[in-house]
Amino acid sequence: MKRQAVHSLVALALMALTGALVTVPLGLSEIPLRVDFESLPDGLPGWRPTDRSAGDALPPDPRAPRRVTRAYEREGHLLWATVEYYPSQDEARRAAARGLVIPAHGWSQIAERRVRIPVAAAAGGQLEVNLVTLERQAGRVGIVYWYQIAQQPLASDHWYRVELLYNGLVRGRTDGALIRVASPMETNEDSGAVLARHADFLREFYPLLLRSLPR
């Protein structure tokens, strides 16, 4: 009887402690951008600004407090970049690429793979991203996307969540960004060609993006 009572009291004490831990406020802070997205230039070396819209290939996340979209053109090839920034995230307001990149509005996803793009500004000189090919009757589009927590890029949806969890519990911050870059694919153009175009663009764009994002 005595042993049962001891075990029961220990269990009750643990439950009470857990109840206290889940109710005490964490004090998460909102992390603002270092430099507002408006400072991102309309044109980049080799890329002219254009007012052609990406349409529904890059649907916006209405829950993102900060968002920027830029349209560029080079040698007849269009390219759009959109960055959504979340100063803090929770279940109701979180970057979720799979709901934004993966098809809707008649788009079908025909391929997805993870690739490394050589970008000098990225840690280790390479930027790991996801390359998604979408298709619908009007044509195909290649979309590159990844997450960014401060200066750290993350291609994996799951590692992004793990990092957010760690940051929230240990560092008291849950800021992050979702970056998507899309470019229509020519008829018979393969994903390698569109990836090369993305790589050329990101070599110019990524260092500017890092300047805006917090450390």
Partner 1 sequence: MTTATADVHLVRDRATWVWFLPPWLAALALYAQLFPALVSEWAKFPSLSHGFAIPFIAGYLLWARRDLLRVLPFEPNAWGLPVMVLGLLGLVVGVRGDEPFVARISLPVTLFGLALFLGGWRITRQVWAAIAYLLFMIPLPWATVKLVTYRSRLFDADASAYLLGWLGVPVYQDGVMLHLANISLEVADDCSSIPAIAALLSLGVAYAAVARRPLWVRLVLIGATLPFAIGANIVRITSTAAGAYWIGPWTLHTSYHMFNGTVNFLFTFMMLMALDWVLSRWVDRRPA
Contact 81, 209 (CB under 8 A): no
Contact 6, 183 (CB under 8 A): no
Q: Which of 161, 189, 204, 214 binds partner 1 (CB under 8 A)?
A: 161
Looking at beta carbons only, is 73 or 157 nearer to partner 1?
157
- Rounded Cα distance between 95 and 147, Å, is 8
Can residue 208 be called a binding residue for partner 1 (CB under 8 A)?
no
Q: For residue 115, what is the enclosing H or E element?
A: strand 108-118
23-42 footprint of partner 1 as x/- string (CB under 8 A)? ---x----------------
Q: Total number of residues binding partner 1 (CB under 8 A)?
A: 41
Task: Provide, rounded to whole angstroms, the least separation between the CB of residue 152 and partner 1.
Answer: 18
Residue with tokens 């390359």: 131
Contact 147, 114 (CB under 8 A): no
Contact 200, 46 (CB under 8 A): yes
Can residue 138 be called a binding residue for partner 1 (CB under 8 A)?
no
Which residues lie near partner 1 (CB under 8 A)?
1, 3-8, 10-12, 14-19, 21-22, 26, 89-91, 96, 98-99, 102, 108-112, 133, 135, 157-158, 161, 164-165, 168-169, 174
